[in-house]
Amino acid sequence: MQYRCEWAQSDPLLVQYHDTEWGVPEHDDTRQFEFLSLEIMQAGLSWLTVLRKREGFRRVFYGFDVPRVAAMTDHDVERLLQDEGIIRNRMKIEAIINNARAVLHMQKQQTLAEFFWSYVNGVPLDSRIAMDEDVPASTPLSHRISKDLKAHKFRFTGPTIIYAHMQATGIVNDHEKRCFRHDQVHPH
C-alpha cells in the first residue's frame, strides 16, 4: 500500500485532492485564482469543509473567471450570503471580489501565476519534510509574498494563507518525503 501525507488520510475527498491536485505545479491564472480564493475561504475552517463546498464556489464565482468575479457588485455579495452551497462570510466573499480586481490590475504587468512563480525563479521549492507536524504555518518567503500582495491591494492574504497557497499550487513541495506523491510532483 502506498503511503500518503498524514493530513490526507481521513476522508475520500481529501485523498482524491491530495492524490491529484495538491502540490502539483500550477501555472494557469484561473486555477491560481481559484486556489487563492479557496485558501481565503478556508481561513479558520477545515480544508475538508472547503472541498465539500468547492462546486458551490465554482458556481457562484463563475468558475473563478477573474473578469466576471471582478465585475460582481454589492447585490451579488448579498445574493451569495443567502447561498447555502458556499461558506457565507461577507469579509471573505468581498475579499475574493476585491482580489479579482487586483488580479486584473496586476495582469497589466504580469499574470498572477508569473507573480507567484517569480519568487522561486519558476522552480518549486522542496522542503523535504519528514512528517506532517514539521510543516510550518508560514515562512519568511510567504511573509514577503503576503506583503507584496498587500501592496497590490489584495486582501485576506496573510502569510499563513499564502503558504497554504504555495503548497496547493506546487510552489513548495510539502508532501512528506515518504509520501508516494513527493517524487511525482517534484522529480529529482
Active-site positions? 17, 39, 47
pLDDT at position 158 is 98
Percentage helix, strand, coil, to 5, in the chain?
A: 55, 0, 40
Was 18 annotated as part of a binding site? yes
Say which CATH number the domain at 49 has: 1.10.340.30
Alpha-carbon span 80 to 77, nearest angstrom: 5
Residue type, 37: S
pLDDT at position 133 is 86
Was 27 annotated as part of a binding site? no
**121 belongs to a structural domain:** yes
Show Cβ contacts of residue 11 under 8 Å, excluding neighbours closer than 6 positions: 48
**138 belongs to a structural domain:** yes
| pLDDT tier for residue 62 given thresholds of 50, 70 and 90 | very high
Was 188 annotated as part of a binding site? no
Number of domains in the chain: 1
**1 belongs to a structural domain:** no
**32 belongs to a structural domain:** yes
Averaged pLDDT score across all residues of the chain: 96
129-166 confidence digits (pLDDT tens): 888 888 999 999 999 999 999 999 999 999 999 999 99
Alpha-carbon span 119 to 100, nearest angstrom: 21
In contact, 142 and 166? CB cutoff 8 Å: yes
**69 belongs to a structural domain:** yes
User: Which cell is 179 given?
Assistant: 509520501
Q: For residue 34, give its domain range.
A: 6-185
Was 179 annotated as part of a binding site? yes
